[in-house]
Amino acid sequence: MMRILLAAASTAALLAACSQAPSRPDRTPEASPDAASAPKTATTPAAAPAGAMALGLTVAQLEEADLITSAGVDLGDVQRVDLDASGAVTGLIIEPAGEGGPRWVRIPLDGLTPRKEGDDYDLVSTMTLEQLKAMPAWMP
């Protein structure tokens, strides 16, 4: 009889232990001190806010645009949109036409006018190709 009572008590204790949820820590683990002191580096600029616009165009439309003269002469291609810390468009990074290798210049938005070409847009500038090529190189 004693064996039966001991077996029943053991079984009850075993079932009770297995049915309890695992205990959770009172607080979450802290980050290592090394992580807090590590330098913060960014290799690419932050993405433009979804609603960022300039010249009545979205960032995506600006990045697809060609830079041309009012006569339609190709000046270069927009490579990327330059943004300030708040995500506002402040300029465009252009690869001038006819360059022998990858070279970029930064131009302000002043003096640019969008022109719809089919489903796309071109940006009309008052600059000449020589003026664009004479601008200092922009480095990412």
What is the chain's pLDDT, residue by residue, as a tens digit (140 residues)?
555 645 555 555 555 555 555 454 444 444 434 434 333 333 334 444 556 788 889 999 999 999 999 999 999 999 999 988 888 899 999 999 987 678 899 999 998 999 998 888 999 999 999 999 999 999 87
Q: How far apart, in whole angstroms, are the C-alpha atoms of residue 111 and residue 29?
A: 55
What pLDDT score was predicted for residue 115? 94
The length of the chain is 140
Is the alpha carbon torsion for 105, 108, 109, 110 positive or negative?
Answer: negative
Give phi and psi for 18, each to the nearest 5.
-75, -25
The pLDDT, as a whole number, for residue 113 is 94
Maximum Cα interatomic distance, the chain, rounded to a whole number of Å: 107
Q: Cα dihedral angle (26, 29, 30, 35), rounded to 10 degrees? A: -170
**27 Rama sector, left if φ>0, alpha if ψ -120 to 50, beta otherwise:** beta
- Cβ atoms 69, 125 nearer than 8 A: yes
